[in-house]
Structure formats: structure tokens, C-alpha cells
């Protein structure tokens, strides 16, 4: 082989190696960029959830995402989202941002609407306004939107409820609900849960007491407000049912406190008893028009399974244990009430 041929062959090999190396570097570069754009972890850890708001434009979504600092590299996410056509399939919701999550997985999660439900503890709310505020804190809609549904007269009429007794619809429990659930959808969910709770057996027990589910729940709210301990609930329920059956006013202190709207009261005095309100069971007979709080399931079942007794009166025990003294006669009750009044006076509790 001549020297020129060897020289040409060596030069061609060098060119081939250089070109190959160039393309390898180029491929590695684009491969790295592809990996960084789609598969590299991109969660900053500053936010636990990514929120896609209902009716928000794609531009609004991107702006909020950039401002909240949830991503390590916003530009790479934006590029991946463009290539994966996220703008055409942006699904509202609350999406969990786990450590190590990459753009591709996150975008697919949003496109499919694979969001994490909110765990709502619906219990112990005194008024429906308190419930609406709690829902607004944990779900997308605000309290005004929730109240507009709960107080919607046409809707309530269609379901046989009033603004006063609609609160009996809500059964205390922990519910898993999507963050962007609308107020009307939430309301319908609660109606479904209510209907499932009020089984044929529970309805039969209520009917045997000459109550419907709404009335039983209203009475349960009074029982729940009176009882510090669940074990006393059936006894208290039996007492109030005795009063209803005999046409005696309930004279329940918690209803007076509710009527006056001052929940700091520790001692119901005569001036409070004069409050003219349908919720004041000292002035008006029968059940109040609505519940005075959201009763627990234990309280509802305590009414349905009330203790059969002859009690007409009750008074908190003078030892402030939270339990009550029960009485069948007014004379017995006066003895119990006197001991409790004296105990209040010793502690300087006059209101």
C-alpha cells in the first residue's frame, strides 16, 4: 500500500471518529435535555398540592404555578406541557405533589384528572354557617356559594326541607370529596349519605316514637347539647320524649342559649328565658323549627333507642362532673336544682 493511501485512510478514520463523536455528544445533549424535560424530578417541596382552578384559563394556571414555586424548573414544565398538549386537557382539581415527581407524570395526572380527594370531617358544627365556612376552607367554592345552595328555597322545597331544618340533612362522618366539587354536587352527596343512613329500621324506630327523621334529628341535637357523656344520651332522650308525649314544654337550656346566640353562657338566667324565639323551648311547646347543632350519630341513635323511664326533670350535678340528676317529680327536681344553684354561687358563676 502506498504512503498516500495510508494517509487518506487515516484521515478518513479521524474524520469518521470526529463526526461520530460529534453526533454522540449531540445525542447525549438532546437525550439529557429530553430526560430533564420529561423524566427528571421537578418538585421543589414548597407546596404539597398543585391546584387547577375551575374556569381558570391555561395562562392563569401557568402564572399561578410559576408564582407559587412548586416546581424546581418552571420552563421545563412549560415546555413539556406544550409538547404534551396540556392546554387542551386541563382538568380542575387538587393534585398531590410527591417527592421525585417528574413533569411527564404530573402532566398525565392533570390530563386524566387523577386528583386526591379531601378528607372532610363533618361534625360538631353549631350552625350551617359554620359548616359553610369549614367547607370553603377545604374546598374550592367559597362560603357564599355553599350558603346559597343550603338556603335555596326552590331546592329545599323540592326536597321537603326548610331553611331552619335543612341542617338535619347532614349526617356527621368523615367524607372523601374532591376539592373542586361544586356546592350543588356536595349537597347531592350529602342527600345520598342521609338516605343511606336513614335505613328502614331507623325510620321504623322514629315512627314508633311519632317522629320523622327530621324531627328525630332535631331532638337529637338537644340531647347532644345536654349530654357531656354518651352514656347519658338515652336517658335524656327518654326524658324529653316523655315531655313531648305529655304535652309539656321541653324547657331545654341549650335551646335558650341558641335562641340568644350567646354560646359563652354557663348559667341560664331569667332574662335569657324571656327571649322571644321559636327556639326558646321555655316559651314555645314542641320541638324547635330546626336543630340547635349538628347532632352526632350517637345522639340520633340514642333518641331512636331511648331509655324508657318516667323522668320529667333533669339538672346538672352539683359536683360539676358533667352528669345529671334526674327526677320524676317537681319536688325532687327542686331539691336537685337547689344544690346546683348553690354550687354555681360558690364558684361565682352567675351567667
Asked if residues 177 and 189 have their Cβ atoms less than 8 Å apart, the reply is: yes
Cell of 111: 390530563
**Contact criterion met (CB below 8 Å) for 313 and 333:** yes
Those residues whose C-beta lies under 8 Å from the C-beta of residue 77, and which sit 6 or more positions away, are 42, 65, 71, 103, 106, 107
Q: Give the pLDDT means over successive 10-residue stretches in the chain (351 positions).
A: 60 62 59 76 94 95 95 95 95 95 96 96 90 97 95 91 94 96 96 97 98 98 96 98 97 95 86 94 97 96 98 93 94 91 83 65
Q: Quick one: angle between helices 213-226 and 253-260, nearest 10?
A: 90
Cell numbers linked to 125: 358544627
Cell reading at 185 = 354536587
Q: Which residues pair with 214 in a beta bridge?
A: none
Length of the chain: 351
Whether residue 178 contacts residue 93, with contact meaning beta carbons closer than 8 Å, is answered with: yes
**Helices 128-138 and 143-150, axial angle in degrees (round to 10):** 140
Q: Given this model, what pLDDT does residue 314 score?
A: 95
| Partners of residue 50 on adjacent β-strands | 95
Cell of 268: 341560664
Looking up cell 398531590, which residue turns up? Answer: 96
Supply 173's cell numbers.
Answer: 362522618
pTM: 0.86
Residue 27: per-residue pLDDT: 57
The residue among 90, 99, 39, 84 whose CA lies nearest residue 62 is 90
| End-to-end C-alpha distance for the chain, whole angstroms | 117
In this structure, are residues 141 and 155 in contact, taking their beta carbons and an 8 Å threshold?
A: no
Distance CA 312, CA 314 (A): 7
Amino acid at each position: 500500500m502506498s504512503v498516500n493511501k495510508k494517509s487518506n485512510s487515516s484521515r478518513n478514520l479521524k474524520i469518521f471518529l470526529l463526526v461520530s463523536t460529534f453526533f454522540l455528544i449531540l445525542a447525549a445533549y438532546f437525550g439529557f435535555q429530553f430526560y430533564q424535560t420529561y423524566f427528571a424530578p421537578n418538585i421543589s417541596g414548597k407546596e404539597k398540592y398543585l391546584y387547577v382552578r375551575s374556569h381558570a384559563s391555561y395562562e392563569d394556571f401557568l402564572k399561578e404555578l410559576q408564582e407559587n414555586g412548586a416546581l424546581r424548573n418552571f420552563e421545563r414544565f412549560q415546555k413539556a406541557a406544550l409538547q404534551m398538549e396540556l392546554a387542551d386537557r386541563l382538568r380542575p382539581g387538587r393534585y398531590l405533589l410527591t417527592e421525585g415527581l417528574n413533569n411527564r407524570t404530573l402532566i398525565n395526572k392533570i390530563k386524566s384528572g387523577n386528583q386526591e380527594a379531601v378528607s372532610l370531617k363533618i361534625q360538631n358544627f353549631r350552625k350551617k354557617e359554620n359548616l359553610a365556612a369549614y367547607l370553603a376552607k377545604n374546598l374550592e367554592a367559597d362560603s357564599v356559594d355553599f350558603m346559597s345552595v343550603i338556603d335555596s328555597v326552590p331546592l329545599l322545597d323540592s326536597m321537603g326541607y326548610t331553611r331552619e331544618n335543612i341542617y338535619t340533612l347532614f349526617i356527621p362522618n368523615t367524607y372523601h370529596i374532591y376539592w373542586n366539587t361544586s356546592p350543588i354536587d356536595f349537597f347531592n352527596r350529602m342527600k345520598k349519605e342521609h338516605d343511606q343512613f336513614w335505613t328502614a329500621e331507623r325510620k321504623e324506630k322514629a315512627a314508633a316514637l311519632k317522629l320523622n327523621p327530621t324531627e328525630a334529628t332535631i331532638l337529637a341535637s338537644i340531647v347532644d347539647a345536654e349530654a357531656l357523656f354518651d352514656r347519658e344520651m338515652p336517658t335524656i332522650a327518654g326524658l324529653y320524649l316523655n315531655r313531648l308525649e305529655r304535652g309539656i314544654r321541653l324547657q331545654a337550656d341549650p335551646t335558650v342559649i341558641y335562641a340568644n346566640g350567646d354560646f359563652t353562657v354557663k348559667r341560664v338566667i331569667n332574662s335569657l328565658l324571656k327571649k322571644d324565639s321559636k327556639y326558646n323551648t321555655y316559651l314555645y311547646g314542641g320541638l324547635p323549627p330546626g336543630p340547635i347543632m349538628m347532632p352526632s350519630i350517637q345522639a340520633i341513635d340514642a333518641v331512636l333507642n331511648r331509655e324508657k323511664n318516667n323522668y320529667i326533670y333533669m339538672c346538672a350535678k352539683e359536683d360539676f362532673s358533667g352528669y345529671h340528676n334526674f327526677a320524676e317529680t317537681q319536688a325532687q327536681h327542686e331539691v336537685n336544682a337547689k344544690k346546683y344553684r348553690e354550687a354555681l354561687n360558690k364558684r361565682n358563676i352567675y351567667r
